[in-house]
């Protein structure tokens, strides 16, 4: 049924023999089989009906309220945690690199960030249930102090609860990405600015921030993608009850609960499109920031 896509490695330049290409053949065959072919089949599938004819119905069916709302919640959670995690991560990285703290604070923070950015999925969800669930430590502690956060409207298994949980791996990632950029700010630039009569504020506004902007935006884009593709954490925390795009795709794989096999393809296709736009922006920004931060 599925036509196998044509995958041809780039043509050898004149002068280089065919033998040269054999060295990289395993890698390209692997990439073709396990990366390109699956993505390609999703792409083809989203424009096909059950008989194999071309159709736009699958794509059109994305524009129903419940699916649009899943995309919207996924995007909003990713934006919230990317901006929140980005801001807090930046402040933390700033505090330990330029904020006058001793060297061990920086090393400790970077180590903790390395661990926390890798701590995600099932165990992270359990940890937050034990912290902010109905019987969680912080929930109970606040209750004895007279504040019932669930009365006020907080719910761990909702938008803000999930965002708070994602933050656990989002802000450490920001620290890891942005700390080297902050350390890359040369002292000479600051001294030069001060010699020319700039205040601290002038220096940040006209020198440091313009240099850091591509790195900061690039990092925030990475954080966005990081949250947008997250599935395990959300599933374990909410048991699949939150309407995220990844949860919808998971349900679709489980057994076509939406009674439309083409829809699963279209959902995935939509995700890839958003991630691709995201990465394209990242790529452009990274090239710009590399001009300044060459070590």
Partner 1 sequence: MDQNQRAPLRQRLVSWFILFLGGLYFFVPLIATIDFSLRARKGVLSALAYQRVLSDPRFASAFTFSLEMALLTVVVGVILVVPTAYWIRLRLPQLRPVVEFITLMPFVVPAIVLVFGLIRVFSRPPLLLTNSFTGTQILLVAGYVVLVLPYLYRAVDTGLQAIDIRTLTEAAQSLGAGWWVIITQIIFPNLRSAILSGAFLTITIVMGELTMASFLVGLRAFGPYMSQVGQNRAYEGAALAVISFALTWAFTMLFQFVGRRALGGDQAFGAR
Near partner 1 in 216-275, by CB under 8 A: 222, 225-233, 235-236, 239, 246, 249-250, 252-253, 264-265, 268, 271-272, 275
Interface residue with partner 1, options 51, 65, 115, 144 (CB under 8 A):
115
Contacts of 158 (CB under 8 A, 6+ apart): 242
Between residue 85 and residue 104, which ones bind partner 1 under the rule CB under 8 A?
A: 88, 91-92, 94-96, 98-103
Interface residue with partner 1, options 67, 77, 82, 116 (CB under 8 A):
116
Q: For partner 1, which is the closer residue by CB, 17 or 65?
A: 17
Shortest CB 141 distance to partner 1, Å: 9
Between residue 136 and residue 165, which ones bind partner 1 under the rule CB under 8 A?
A: 136-138
Helices (H), 196-231: 200-203, 209-228
Shortest CB 109 distance to partner 1, Å: 7
Q: For partner 1, which is the closer residue by CB, 128 or 203?
A: 128
Helices (H), the chain: 19-22, 25-31, 37-45, 57-61, 65-97, 103-118, 122-132, 137-144, 149-152, 159-183, 187-195, 200-203, 209-228, 232-238, 245-255, 261-292
Q: For partner 1, which is the closer residue by CB, 96 or 220?
A: 96
Q: For partner 1, which is the closer residue by CB, 99 or 210?
A: 99
Between residue 184 and residue 203, which ones bind partner 1 under the rule CB under 8 A?
A: none
Interface residue with partner 1, options 7, 20, 72, 76 (CB under 8 A):
20
- DSSP code for 33: I
**Count of residues that bind partner 1 according to CB under 8 A:** 95
Q: Which stretch binds partner 1 (CB under 8 A): 52-60, 63-71, 125-133, 144-152?
A: 125-133
Q: Is residue 121 a contact residue for partner 1 (CB under 8 A)?
A: yes
Shortest CB 76 distance to partner 1, Å: 17
CA separation for the pair 190, 145 (Å, rounded): 47
CA separation for the pair 282, 221 (Å, rounded): 6
CA separation for the pair 84, 88 (Å, rounded): 6
C-alpha neighbours within 13 Å on the C-beta side of residue 190: 12
Between residue 274 and residue 293, which ones bind partner 1 under the rule CB under 8 A?
A: 275-276, 279
Q: What angle do CA 229, 234, 235 make, to 5 degrees?
A: 110
Shortest CB 205 distance to partner 1, Å: 17
> Do residues 162 and 237 lie in contact, with contact meaning Cβ atoms separated by under 8 Å?
yes
User: Residue 279 has which token pair?
Assistant: 């990465």
CA separation for the pair 233, 168 (Å, rounded): 11
Between residue 33 and residue 72, which ones bind partner 1 under the rule CB under 8 A?
A: 33-35, 37-39, 41-42, 45
Q: Is residue 129 a contact residue for partner 1 (CB under 8 A)?
A: yes
């Amino acid at each position: 049924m599925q036509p196998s896509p044509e995958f041809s490695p780039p043509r050898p330049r004149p002068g280089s023999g065919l033998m040269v290409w054999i060295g990289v053949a395993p890698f390209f065959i692997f990439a073709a089989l396990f990366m390109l072919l699956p993505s390609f089949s999703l792409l083809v599938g989203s424009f096909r009906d059950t008989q194999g004819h071309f159709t736009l119905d699958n794509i059109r069916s994305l524009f129903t309220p419940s699916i649009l709302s899943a995309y919207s919640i996924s995007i909003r959670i990713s934006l919230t945690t990317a901006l929140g995690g980005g801001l807090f991560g930046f402040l933390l990285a700033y505090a330990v690199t330029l904020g006058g703290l001793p060297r061990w604070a920086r090393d400790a923070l970077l180590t903790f960030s390395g661990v926390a950015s890798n701590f995600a999925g099932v165990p992270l969800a359990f940890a937050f249930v034990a912290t902010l669930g109905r019987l969680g430590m912080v929930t109970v502690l606040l209750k004895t102090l007279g504040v019932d956060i669930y009365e006020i409207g907080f719910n761990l298994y909702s938008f803000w609860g999930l965002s708070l949980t994602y933050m656990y791996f989002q802000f450490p990632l920001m620290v890891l990405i942005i700390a080297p950029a902050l350390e890359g700010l040369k002292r000479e630039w600051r001294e030069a600015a001060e010699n020319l009569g700039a205040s601290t504020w002038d220096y940040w506004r006209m020198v440091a921030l313009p240099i850091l902007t591509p790195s900061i935006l690039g990092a925030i884009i990475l954080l966005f993608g990081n949250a947008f593709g997250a599935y395990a954490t959300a599933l374990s925390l909410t048991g699949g009850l939150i309407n995220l795009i990844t949860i919808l795709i998971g349900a679709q794989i489980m057994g076509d609960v939406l009674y439309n096999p083409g829809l699963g393809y279209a959902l995935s296709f939509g995700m890839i499109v958003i991630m691709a736009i995201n990465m394209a922006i990242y790529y452009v920004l990274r090239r710009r920031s590399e001009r300044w931060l060459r070590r």
